A = this chain, B = another copy of it.
């Protein structure tokens, strides 16, 4: 396989493409942010985010389809529908938070409100970093992209 073919395959099967298929549209992240902040109903999302109703409808539908939100009727009021995060959706938190921290650091220049704190110590959460298996923080210079086949071969040789 040529270098070019290899790269093309890499890009096609990468988890990033897969993830972007599902949450890549402009409003998806903002809807998820809303859900993490406690929004549950259509009208709440609409008025708080300022999103067009048809787009919101479409995005909520997609997120439900992909198992990121669950859609349930509200038992107390049958007009209402509640949207809430599934485990799959909740697992997007590191993505949202790292994006938020980057935006705070490099674009808006200050911490946003509200702050996400450790419930017990009341300390804000730490910046999200890339770490080694043992927990050491890694910077780009400490890391290397390795083809999985090569990595297996290294392991065998050792």
Contact = CB atoms under 8 A, between A and B. Distances in A.
Contacts of A52: none
Contact of A118 (B33, B120, B122, B132): B132
A125 interface: yes
Interface stretch (A2-10, A56-64, A75-83): A2-10
Nearest to A151: B115
Q: Report the contact-size class of chain A (Cβ under 8 Å from the partner).
A: 35 or more
A63 to B, nearest CB: 13
Contacts of A136: 118
Interface string A1-45: 000100111110111111111101110011001100110000000
B26 A24 contact: yes
Contact of A133 (B4, B25, B95, B123): B123
A47 interface: yes
Contact of A143 (B100, B111, B119, B129): B119
Contacts of A131: 125-126, 128
Contact of A10 (B4, B11, B107, B114): B114
A134 B16 CA distance: 30
Contacts of A37: 7, 10, 145
